[in-house]
Every structure is written in structure tokens, then in C-alpha cells.
């Protein structure tokens, strides 16, 4: 009651009203002319004139990656490889290894070290030659293994690169231990560091809090099995069997489904039923995830021309034939396809495979095939996405985080002006969302909106002023458009009779240009008609 509503059914000014709910859904909306007193009414939530919007929908994050990192030593405090090695070696006897005997260290970047390079197996061998060690890059798209770690996963020092990963070699041709897209290697999936499903479930329960504080009422984990394979899948099921405060969608990694014989013939309906039953209807399956290329910062994104610093861009990690084969297989099993593609070459190959395999899509599937990140998507590619109803999601936070690198060493000034063309995508009629790729950047939809509207680097340089979104379009991308991308338009992401009773109460109007989106507080988060977070009381 006494809510200034932004209902996202159409672009209009906020209006004062009351939302009546029943069984977790909106029953009716009653407009108010004035504020109403609610003293003594226990079944009424008086939001006292604050702004209420539909629950914000996360369509691409990694709660698994963000939640399960806390047990491991972090690289945050080290400014050199030498300091990292000395410190971890001195504390080795105090550090708990994974259940299958690995030492895992997380969160490094080459840029943080005075040596200005990636560590090697020789560096990690100074910590231990007997314990397998995995040092994980902050992007999750690269690792460094010591010699024992390479042996544990069955990688020889002179092995050829596998189809979906990139090995770094020394001048003699031997592996340095630095591997891009390591988690796509089947043997890595089965023999790399594992966690007990119970500990994964516990970590997920803790991780949900950050989503609720940010006003997210539904999260999407876009890489189930990406780090810990089958134990990760089992951990999700353990978590979903506990009381759920948030809705969730779980996208299975194709490499995980391919790595385990028991998963190779499963259908999308099998997983959807499994997740729904565990969660009592609060969770479902969300397609299958592929990787067409790597990352911009590691220079493994498949671009049509060289990087600005002169390094040559690699080819996509999946060949056209392999992409076609897997897309046919998974679509015949009822999965919709979600493909990571950053470079324009990877985007083009993915689009061509989507178009070529469209006849294998199951008739009852409601979700679009999608392309994720879309750093360098071209106007022609956006037109194809619209024509063939391919959805997408833009990682616009990267403009703030890595925009200055994009315009200098990665893409150069001219190409950097064309990244994440969100306004062009809207003009082309592409259904898309904005995502934080958490934990790569924090889960904070209001900050996503800010960066999509402002498009400024950390140094204050604006990239692609013509691609700035309006406040309404940015809010749509995390509410009603996100629901449409998930195949549930009208059921979520809007405030209307019959929709799910998921809302966020905000301190200020997110459509008011005089208010910074970065200064707006999430006062309350409501899921299925129940308050699950308040600013004063935190997660309930």
C-alpha cells in the first residue's frame, strides 16, 4: 500500500497504488488518490510512498563461482609472484586441501604482479612438487597448474592444444602450466579440484543474500558444472532441497553433460523436473551453455582483426562442424542454447549454427537461443539476431571495468566506440538483457543500468555515446525484457494482475534523471508476496 509504482507494462509516470496479492501472485491493483493510513493492519505492507518496481531478474551470473571461492587462499593481497609463492609455501601446512587432494588458489591477474606476467608451473613447483596446485585467474577463463597438477589431469608437457583450450608454451615448446579455458577439457572436469556437494550447497545458501540485497528476485546460474563437474550439479540439488528465498534458473554446461556418461542422454525436461521437485517450484532448468571463444583481456576472443597491441586473435574454440553437431544433439533433447561469444567471428559462427540447426528446435520450447556478452557484435549480426529471433545479453559493466584497456591495448579507440551496441540492438528489435557476470563484477542491477545509460570508463571517457540507453529501456532490460528472454513475458518483470508477486521497493525513482542510479537504496525485496530482505533487517 502507498506505493509509487513503476509497473513496466508501458512507459508512463509512476502512480500511487495498492497491490493486492493471493497465493504468491498479484490479484489486483487499486489506484490511490491519496496516502492511506494502515495502523494495526498486520496483513498490509505500507511502503510509505517509496517506489516499487517489478522484481529485477538476473539472466547471467555465476553464484556458484562467487560463493564457493571463500575456502580458498586469495591472491588479492599479493603484488608479486614471488610474494605469492613465499606466503603460500610458508602457510602450506595450515591450508585445507580439497577433498581430492588439491591446493587451490584463486583470483589472480597478471597485471597485479610486478613481474607483469602469468605465473608458471615452475613458480608453483616452488610451493610444492608433490601436491597438485591450481591457481585460478580472476576471470575463471584461465588457470596455472604446477607439474603435479598437470600430471593429475593427464596433460603432458608436449601435448597438443585440445579443441576448446589454449596452452601457453615456453621457448622449447613445453607447457608453462598456464592454460586458457582449462575447464572445457573433459579430463579437467573429472580430475581437477572437487568440493563436497554439501559444502557447495552451504556456500550457495550464503551467496543468495547478495542477490536479495541488490533487489534480484530471480537469479540465473549460467554454468552449472563449470568448475567442479558432477559434484557441482549434486551441490545445486542439495541446495534446492532447502527452503528457497529466491527464484532461480540453472544452465548446465555442455562440457559437463558431455563428460559424464550418465548425463549424455538426459533431456531438458529431465533437468527441469529435477530442479522443480527439489525446490518445490522455485527453480527450473535453463538450457545448455556453450563457449565459442574466450575473453577479451586474455586475448582469446575470436576477432576478425588483430588486437590493438598487435597480437593475433585466435579462431573460435568450436569448429563449425562440431558446433553444428552439438547444437543438433542438444536441441533434439529439448535444450535451448546459450552461447558465450565475445568476438565478432565467434558471434558469426554461433549465429550461422543457430540458423542452420533451427529445424531441430523442439516445438514446445518457449525460450530463445541466446548469445552472451556480445562485446563486438556488428549491426549486420544484430539484424540477423532479430530476423531469426535470437536473444542476447550485454555485459555493459565492462565499459567501466575494462573500457580504458579496450580503447588502448585491446581494441583501439575506434573499435572501442562500437562495443556493446545496446541502442542499435533495441532499434533492430533484438530481445536482450544486461548482466553483471557476477562475480566478475558485483551483482547490482541498478549499477548495470547506470553503466548502460552512461557508458563511461573508469577514467571518465564515454564509449559510444549514441548507444546510451534511456532509463526506461535500461530498467526494462532487467525486468520485463529479462522475463521475455526467459520465455515468461507477462508473468514476471511486470506489475499486473496474474503476474508473480515479486517486487523491489526503492528509496528513489530510477527513472528520474536528477537521481543517480548509484545512490538508490534497495529498501525491500519481496518474492512470492513475502518480504525476504529489508535494508534495516537484512535478509530475513
Q: Which three cell numbers stand for residue 319?
A: 569448429
Q: What is d(CA 162, CA 178) in angstroms, rounded to the nearest whole number? A: 14
Measured in residues, the chain has a length of 540
Strands (E), 320-387: 337-341, 370-373
Asked if 47 and 501 touch (Cβ cutoff 8 Å), the reply is: no
Three-class secondary structure of residue 167 per DSSP: strand
Cβ count near 508 (within 10 Å): 16
Q: What is d(CA 417, CA 122) in angstroms, rounded to the nearest whole number? A: 40
Q: What is d(CA 165, CA 161) in angstroms, rounded to the nearest whole number? A: 6
284-294: pLDDT as tens digits: 999 999 999 99
Outline where 153-243 has alpha helix (H): 186-191, 197-213, 229-240
Q: What is d(CA 300, CA 309) in angstroms, rounded to the nearest whole number? A: 14
Residue limits of CATH 3.10.310.70 in the chain: 100-191
Residue limits of CATH 3.20.20.140 in the chain: 292-469
Q: Report the alpha-carbon angle 57-340-308, nearest 5.
A: 115
Residue limits of CATH 2.30.40.10 in the chain: 3-55+498-534
Stated pTM of the model: 0.95
- pLDDT (0 to 100) of residue 163: 84
CA distances from 539 to 206, 207, 209, 215, 500 (A): 10, 11, 6, 11, 20
- pLDDT (0 to 100) of residue 364: 67
Q: What is d(CA 501, CA 491) in angstroms, rounded to the nearest whole number? A: 9
- pLDDT (0 to 100) of residue 90: 98
CA dihedral angle for residue 180, residue 181, residue 182, residue 184, rounded to 10 degrees:
-160
Q: What is d(CA 200, CA 64) in angstroms, rounded to the nearest whole number? A: 8
Q: What is d(CA 174, CA 322) in angstroms, rounded to the nearest whole number? A: 28
300-317: pLDDT as tens digits: 999 999 999 999 999 999
Q: What is d(CA 137, CA 24) in angstroms, rounded to the nearest whole number? A: 41
- pLDDT (0 to 100) of residue 383: 98
CA dihedral angle for residue 318, residue 319, residue 323, residue 324, rounded to 10 degrees:
180
- pLDDT (0 to 100) of residue 62: 97
- pLDDT (0 to 100) of residue 164: 83
> Which H/E stretch holds residue 142?
strand 142-145
Contacting residues for 436 by C-beta, under 8 A, at least 6 apart? 58, 60, 61, 395, 397, 442, 443, 444, 445, 447, 448
Which one of 3.10.310.70, 3.30.70.260, 3.30.499.10, 3.40.830.10 gives the CATH number of domain 100-191? Answer: 3.10.310.70
Asked if 369 and 324 touch (Cβ cutoff 8 Å), the reply is: no
At the second CATH level, the architecture of 292-469 is Alpha-Beta Barrel (3.20)
Spell out the per-residue pLDDT of the chain, length 540, in tens.
Answer: 999 999 999 999 999 999 999 999 999 999 999 999 876 676 889 999 999 999 999 999 999 999 988 889 999 999 999 999 999 999 999 999 999 999 999 999 999 999 999 999 999 999 999 999 999 999 999 999 999 999 999 999 999 999 889 999 999 999 999 999 998 887 777 788 989 999 999 999 999 999 999 999 999 999 999 988 999 999 999 999 999 999 999 999 999 999 899 999 999 999 999 999 999 999 999 999 999 999 999 999 999 999 999 999 999 999 999 999 999 999 999 999 999 999 999 999 999 999 999 999 986 678 999 999 999 999 999 999 999 999 999 999 999 999 999 999 999 999 999 999 999 999 999 999 999 999 999 999 999 999 999 999 999 999 999 999 999 999 999 999 999 999 999 999 999 999 999 999 999 999 999 999 999 999 999 999 999 999 988 888
| CATH 3.20.20.70 fits domain 3-55+498-534 | no
Amino acid at each position: 500500500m502507498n506505493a509509487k509504482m513503476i509497473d513496466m507494462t508501458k512507459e508512463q509516470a509512476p502512480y500511487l497504488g495498492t497491490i493486492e496479492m493471493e497465493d504468491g501472485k498479484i490479484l489486483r491493483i487499486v489506484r490511490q488518490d491519496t496516502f492511506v493510513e494502515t495502523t494495526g493492519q498486520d496483513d498490509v505492507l505500507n511502503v510509505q510512498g517509496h517506489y516499487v518496481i517489478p522484481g529485477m531478474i538476473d539472466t547471467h551470473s555465476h553464484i556458484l563461482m562467487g560463493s564457493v571461492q571463500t575456502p580458498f587462499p586469495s591472491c588479492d593481497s599479493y603484488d608479486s609472484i614471488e610474494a605469492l609463492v613465499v606466503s603460500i609455501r610458508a602457510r602450506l601446512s595450515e591450508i585445507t586441501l580439497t577433498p581430492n587432494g588439491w591446493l587451490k588458489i584463486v583470483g589472480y591477474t597478471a597485471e597485479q604482479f610486478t613481474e607483469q606476467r602469468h605465473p608458471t608451473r615452475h613458480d608453483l613447483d616452488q610451493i610444492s612438487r608433490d601436491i597438485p596446485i591450481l591457481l585460478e585467474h580472476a576471470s575463471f577463463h584461465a588457470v596455472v597448474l604446477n607439474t603435479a597438477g598437470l600430471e593429475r589431469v593427464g596433460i603432458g608437457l608436449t601435448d597438443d592444444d585440445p579443441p576448446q583450450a589454449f596452452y601457453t608454451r615456453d621457448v622449447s615448446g613445453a607447457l608453462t602450466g598456464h592454460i586458457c579455458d582449462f575447464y572445457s577439457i573433459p579430463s579437467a572436469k573429472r580430475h581437477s579440484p572437487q568440493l563436497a556437494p554439501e559444502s557447495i550447497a552451504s556456500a550457495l545458501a550464503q551467496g543468495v543474500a547478495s542477490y536479495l540485497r541488490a533487489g534480484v528476485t530471480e537469479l540465473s546460474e549460467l554454468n552449472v558444472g563449470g568448475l567442479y563437474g558432477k559434484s557441482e550439479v549434486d551441490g545445486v540439488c542439495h541446495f534446492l532441497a532447502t527452503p528457497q528465498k529466491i527464484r532461480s534458473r540453472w544452465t548446465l554446461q555442455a562440457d559437463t553433460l558431455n563428460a559424464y556418461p550418465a548425463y549424455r542422454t538426459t533431456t531438458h525436461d529431465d533437468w527441469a523436473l529435477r530442479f522443480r521437485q527439489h525446490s518445490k517450484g522455485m527453480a527450473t532448468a535453463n538450457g545448455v551453455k556453450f563457449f565459442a571463444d574466450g575473453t577479451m583481456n586474455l586475448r582469446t576472443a575470436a576477432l576478425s582483426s588483430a588486437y590493438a597491441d598487435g597480437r593475433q586473435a585466435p579462431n573460435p574454440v568450436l569448429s563449425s562442424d562440431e558446433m553444428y553437431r552439438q547444437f543438433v544433439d542438444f536441441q533434439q533433447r529439448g535444450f535451448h542454447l546459450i552461447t558465450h561469444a565475445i568476438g565478432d567471428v565467434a558471434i558469426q559462427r554461433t549465429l550461422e549454427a543457430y540458423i542452420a540447426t533451427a529445424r531441430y528446435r523442439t516445438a514446445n520450447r518457449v525460450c530463445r537461443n541466446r548469445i552472451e556478452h556480445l562485446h563486438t557484435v556488428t549491426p549486420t549480426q544484430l539484424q540477423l539476431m532479430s530476423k531469426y529471433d535470437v536473444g542476447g545479453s550485454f555485459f555493459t559493466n565492462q565499459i567501466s571495468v575494462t573500457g580504458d584497456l579496450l580503447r588502448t591495448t585491446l581494441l583501439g579507440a575506434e573499435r572501442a566506440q562500437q562495443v556493446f551496441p545496446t541502442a542499435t540492438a533495441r532499434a533492430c528489435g533484438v530481445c536482450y538483457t544486461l548482466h553483471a557476470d557476477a562475480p566478475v563484477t558485483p551483482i547490482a542491477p541498478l549499477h548495470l543500468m547506470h553503466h548502460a545509460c552512461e557508458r563511461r570508463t573508469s577514467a571518465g571517457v564515454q564509449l559510444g555515446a549514441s548507444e546510451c540507453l534511456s532509463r526506461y529501456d535500461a530498467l526494462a532490460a532487467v525486468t520485463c525484457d529479462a522475463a521475455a528472454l526467459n520465455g515468461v513475458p507477462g508473468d514476471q518483470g511486470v506489475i499486473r494482475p496474474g503476474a508473480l508477486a515479486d517486487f523491489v521497493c526503492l528509496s528513489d525513482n530510477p527513472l528520474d534523471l536528477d537521481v543517480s542510479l548509484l545512490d538508490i537504496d534497495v529498501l525491500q525485496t519481496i518474492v512470492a508476496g513475502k518480504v525476504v530482505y529489508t535494508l534495516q533487517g537484512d535478509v530475513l
